[in-house]
Amino acid sequence: MSRLPSIVLVLLLLPYCPKKIAEGSKYLVLDIKAGSAALCKTVSEAEELANHMIPTAKLLGLKIKCVITSMDQPIGRAVGNAVEVEESIACLHGSGPSDFVELVSHLGGELLVMCGKASTVKEGMQQILKVLSNGEALNRFRDMCIAQGVSAEDAQKLCDQKFEGILPKASHVKKFKAPKSGWVKCIDALSVAKICWELGSGRKKPTDKPDLSVGIKLLCTEGDKISAGNYWLELYHNLPVTEQMSRKLDEAIEISPTNDFKVPSRIIKTLC
The domain ranges of the chain are 6-72, 73-167, 172-256
pLDDT range class, residue 60, cuts 50, 70, 90: confident
**Average pLDDT, stretch 47-58?**
88
Read off the amino acid at residue 103.
Answer: L
The candidate with the shortest Cα–Cα distance to 67, out of 37, 40, 97, is: 40
Read off the amino acid at residue 109.
Answer: G
Q: What is the CATH number of domain 73-167?
A: 3.40.1030.10
Do residues 75 and 36 touch, judged by C-beta distance below 8 A? no
How much is the pLDDT for 188?
96
SS3 category, 34 = strand
What is the bridge-based pairing of β-strands 215-218 and 78-80?
antiparallel
- Predicted confidence (pLDDT) per residue in 198-224, tens digit: 999 998 888 989 999 999 999 999 999
pTM of the model: 0.89
Do residues 226 and 259 touch, judged by C-beta distance below 8 A? no
How much is the pLDDT for 19?
75
21 or 234, greater pLDDT: 234
Helix (H) or strand (E) segment spanning residue 132: helix 121-134
SS3 category, 214 = coil
Domains 6-72 and 73-167 share a fold: no
pLDDT range class, residue 20, cuts 50, 70, 90: confident
How much is the pLDDT for 206?
87
Percentage of residues in the chain with pLDDT exceeding 70? 94
How much is the pLDDT for 194?
96
With 90 as the cut, is the pLDDT of residue 134 above it? yes
- Predicted confidence (pLDDT) per residue in 174-187, tens digit: 999 999 999 999 99
Instruction: Give the C-alpha separation, 267 to 253, whole Å.
Output: 22
pLDDT range class, residue 266, cuts 50, 70, 90: very high
57 or 6, greater pLDDT: 57
Instruction: Give the C-alpha separation, 9 to 11, whole Å.
Output: 6
How much is the pLDDT for 52?
86
For domain 172-256, the question of CATH label 3.90.1170.30 is answered with yes
Q: Which residues contact 235 (CB under 8 A, 6 or more apart)?
A: 173, 174, 175, 176, 195, 199, 216, 241, 249
Q: Which residues contact 77 (CB under 8 A, 6 or more apart)?
A: 87, 97, 217, 218, 219, 221
Q: Which residues contact 175 (CB under 8 A, 6 or more apart)?
A: 231, 233, 234, 235
With 80 as the cut, is the pLDDT of residue 56 above it? yes
**Average pLDDT, stretch 32-61?**
90
Angle between helices 152-159 and 81-92 in degrees, nearest 10: 80
With 50 as the cut, is the pLDDT of residue 1 above it? no
The candidate with the shortest Cα–Cα distance to 35, out of 26, 27, 44, is: 44
Write down the mean pLDDT value for the chain: 92
CATH architecture of 6-72: Up-down Bundle (1.20)
How much is the pLDDT for 9?
59
Task: Supply the DSSP symbol for 36.
Answer: T
For residue 256, the Cα-to-chain-centroid distance in whole angstroms is 25
